[in-house]
């Protein structure tokens, strides 16, 4: 028996139809030699702290940092998930061969591998790797199955990411919550990607708040209904600008140079997930999460290719298939006809194997989009036009620059005349093409001609940076804090971005759900809670977009087999130890959450307030050596035993419900030795 396991029931249904597994059973399809079953996305997760030891069940500074000697996984506690897992486990126990049909990406690999590990799979496993869910693609994928071992590095990268997020998230959240939360029940959420993303928003907000606008002045003049601008630029002194205005008012304008050159502009790149999310946010104000859900739906409806990609290129093996895809796009026959009338160019701007790893750019499959409705149809149209435009000729134009002299001061006017619109003919609406200004068409000028003109002075004001929108925040995450418009530079920075294209929208949504950020129309604004959290996290490593980008680069290198997963995790463990040590040794009162927000939670008046209790007395048990670090000695506090080297990062803690508070030092020593001996 061959068991195929997909990530969703809908995908299982499509694959089952191709394989002839047409009998629906409880949790799977069967037919012939095949059984096709499915997960619901994640069925498994990393174990929680209390799954490793009871000492980590209670949130305690003494237990930090929490770093298990070996990470484990467990089934998510859900009745439906447990039932489906039992179905999968039963099928796999009888399988001669298993085909992993999970989504062809890092997360999909992790989801399926964890399920198979928990099910105890021992038979051979193969991998289905496809970029679309069309019948043709599925059939081709099954004829080209690969050993699952070919994707081990992809799994190691996903596992390293999950463990890294656990190490930093679990320890950072408990550390800052216990030490700095303003009230009981408030959780200060810290994350490897979440925190630097929030820091970007807070930093931008403060740049805007602290910005001091300044006036400046620019001189222009009208000659033959054409605006000429002073080449030397702006004035910061109004009196100097007015003096120059007076000096040129009565002088003639003389044309000194007329130059013209032909330029061209190529079509925009095909979409990757981030550029698609950015464009949808610009055009329609869609959130990144909404765009991801819609494009995932288009993929599952077989009309577009795999969406969670970070490349804008196609692989060369797709070149011969392009005419067929264009021919199938019958709703667009009137605009595909010019492309199909001639041989399609194999441009390096579109086809580049070096820029494609697991998947190519998002393009239509050629399947009819008639099943789409509403926003799905709008999104498909956007992708279809971008795809067709990629094979149109460049837009060509004449760029004219005219220089003039007025009383020894150089002025300039420039304009552009479209000679052949090329691909731009598909985008008559300037907003749909991302243009902000009209092209200026200049009249003919002759060198040496002269005449009167009408100078004028414009008062302008420097503007603060713009608040982030979801689109610009995605771009900043992609560039590790740098906003980049150049397509070439974008490609260079992608490996150092914050998060991955498939996870960035979820990170932004998490910040919304935790009320660290909010929306004001299209803008993203940090809440007071978000600002306070960033102020409280004083360790720059937790907030650094650059550092997070470096981690992301290493995860990508793990995926390519160029970097050891153990080295990545060892570095994170050292970092977490340093963070815990630094925070535990910081007893200053500068933290905004401690200083200000505790005042907000105080409800009693001074006359009603009770005297403060003294700090709990600490008893030193110097005759007992710490069983964890082996260097410190035991301390007996108000609720637990700890290590004298807790500030240096020792994680030892034993609650009084584990080792009783009324024991003699000798019995405490014996009890602790017994506990740690049983754990080894």
**Helix ranges (DSSP H) in 402-544:** 470-478, 487-493, 501-513, 528-536, 540-543
Distance of CA 5 to the CA centre of its chain: 28
Q: Which candidate in 34, 306, 380, 646 is catalytic? A: 306
Show the tokens assigned to 26.
Answer: 């409880």
> Measured between alpha carbons, how far is residue 244 from residues 177, 386, 456, 457 in Å?
62, 49, 11, 10
Show the tokens assigned to 217.
Answer: 């002045």
* Beta pairing partners, 550: none
> Cα–Cα distance between 227 and 230 in angstroms, integer?
10
Coil/strand/helix, residue 294: helix
> Measured between alpha carbons, how far is residue 369 from residues 179, 272, 297, 360, 614 in Å?
55, 20, 12, 21, 71
Task: For residue 313, indicate whether it is catalytic.
Answer: no
- Indicate the Cα dihedral angle 110, 166, 189, 111, nearest 10°: 10
> Cα–Cα distance between 1 and 561 in angstroms, integer?
33
> Cα–Cα distance between 507 and 184 in angstroms, integer?
25
Distance of CA 233 to the CA centre of its chain: 39
Q: What b/e string do you get for 587-625 counting C-beta neighbours within 10 Å, with b at 16 or more?
A: eeeebbbeeebeeeeeeeeeeeeeeeeeeeeeeeeeebb
Residue in 273, 154, 243 with CA at minimum distance from that of residue 455: 243
Residue in 79, 93, 16 with CA at minimum distance from that of residue 43: 79
Pairing of strands 125-127, 146-147: antiparallel
Contact between 505 and 292 (Cβ < 8 Å): yes
Provide the phi-psi class of 597: left if phi over 0, else alpha when psi is between -120 and 50, else beta. alpha
> Cα–Cα distance between 388 and 376 in angstroms, integer?
18
Which residue bears the tokens 């970097």?
563
Phi, psi (deg, nearest 5) at residue 43: -100, -25
DSSP 413-436: EEEEEEEE-GGGGG--STGGGT--
Neighbours of 237 (CB within 10 A): 10
For residue 387, what are the contacts with CB-CB under 8 A and spacing of at least 6? 270, 363, 364
Return the active site residues: 306
């Amino acid at each position: 028996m061959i068991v195929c396991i997909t990530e969703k029931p809908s995908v299982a249904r499509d694959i089952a139809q191709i394989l002839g597994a047409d009998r629906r059973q409880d949790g799977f399809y069967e037919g012939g030699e095949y059984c096709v079953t499915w997960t619901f996305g994640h069925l498994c997760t990393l174990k929680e702290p209390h799954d490793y030891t009871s000492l980590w069940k209670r949130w305690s500074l003494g237990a930090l940092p929490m770093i298990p000697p070996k990470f484990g996984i467990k089934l998510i506690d859900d009745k439906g998930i447990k039932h489906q897992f039992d179905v999968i486990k039963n099928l796999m126990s009888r399988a001669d061969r298993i085909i992993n049909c999970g989504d062809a990406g890092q997360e999909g690999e992790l989801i399926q591998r964890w399920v198979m590990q928990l099910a105890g799979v021992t038979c051979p496993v193969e991998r289905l790797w496809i970029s679309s869910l069309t019948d043709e693609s599925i059939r081709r994928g099954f004829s080209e199955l690969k050993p699952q071992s070919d994707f081990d590095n992809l799994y190691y990268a996903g596992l390293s990411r999950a463990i890294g997020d656990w190490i930093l998230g679990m320890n950072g959240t408990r550390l800052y919550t216990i030490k700095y939360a303003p009230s009981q029940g408030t959780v200060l959420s810290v994350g490897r990607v979440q925190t630097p993303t929030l820091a970007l928003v807070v930093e931008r907000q403060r740049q805007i708040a602290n910005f001091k606008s300044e006036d400046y002045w620019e001189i222009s003049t009208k000659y033959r209904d054409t605006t000429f601008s002073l080449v030397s630029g702006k004035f910061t002194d109004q009196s100097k600008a007015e003096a120059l205005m007076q000096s040129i008012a009565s002088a003639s304008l003389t044309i000194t140079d007329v130059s013209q050159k032909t330029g061209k502009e190529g079509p925009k790149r095909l979409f990757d997930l981030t550029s698609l999310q950015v464009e949808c946010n610009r055009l329609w104000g869609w959130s990144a999460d909404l765009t991801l859900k819609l494009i995932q739906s288009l993929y599952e409806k077989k009309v577009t290719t795999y969406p969670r990609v970070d490349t804008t290129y196609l692989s060369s093996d797709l070149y011969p298939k392009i005419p067929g895809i264009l021919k199938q796009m019958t709703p667009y026959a009137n605009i595909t006809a010019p492309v199909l009338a001639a041989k399609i160019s194999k441009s390096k701007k579109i086809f580049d194997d070096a820029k494609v790893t697991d998947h190519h750019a998002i393009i239509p499959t050629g399947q009819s989009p008639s099943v789409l409705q509403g926003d799905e149809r709008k999104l498909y149209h956007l992708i279809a036009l971008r795809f067709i435009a990629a094979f149109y000729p460049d837009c060509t134009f004449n760029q004219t620059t005219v220089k003039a002299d007025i009383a020894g001061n150089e002025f300039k006017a420039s304009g552009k005349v479209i000679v052949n619109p090329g691909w731009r003919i598909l985008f008559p609406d300037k907003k749909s093409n991302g243009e902000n200004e009209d092209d200026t068409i200049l009249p003919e000028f002759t060198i040496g001609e002269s005449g009167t003109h009408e100078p004028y002075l414009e008062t302008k004001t420097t503007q603060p940076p713009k608040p982030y929108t979801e689109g610009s925040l995605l771009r900043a995450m992609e560039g590790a804090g740098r906003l980049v418009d150049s397509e070439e530079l974008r490609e260079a920075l992608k490996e150092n971005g914050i998060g991955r294209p498939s996870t960035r929208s979820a990170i932004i949504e998490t910040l919304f759900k935790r009320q660290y950020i909010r929306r004001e129309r299209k803008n993203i604004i940090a809440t007071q809670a978000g600002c306070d959290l960033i102020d409280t996290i004083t360790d720059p490593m937790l907030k650094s977009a650059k550092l997070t980008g470096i981690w992301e680069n290493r995860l990508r290198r793990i995926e390519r087999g160029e970097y050891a997963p153990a080295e990545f995790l060892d570095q994170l463990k050292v970092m977490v130890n340093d963070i815990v040590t630094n925070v535990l040794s910081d007893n200053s009162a500068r933290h905004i959450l401690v200083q200000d927000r505790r005042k907000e939670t105080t409800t009693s008046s001074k006359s009603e307030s009770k005297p403060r209790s003294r700090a709990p007395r600490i008893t030193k048990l110097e005759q007992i050596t710490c069983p964890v670090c082996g260097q410190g000695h035991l301390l007996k506090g108000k609720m637990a035993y700890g290590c004298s080297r807790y500030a240096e990062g020792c994680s030892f803690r034993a609650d009084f419900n584990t080792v009783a508070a009324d024991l003699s030092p000798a019995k405490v020593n014996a009890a602790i030795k017994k506990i740690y001996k049983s754990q080894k």
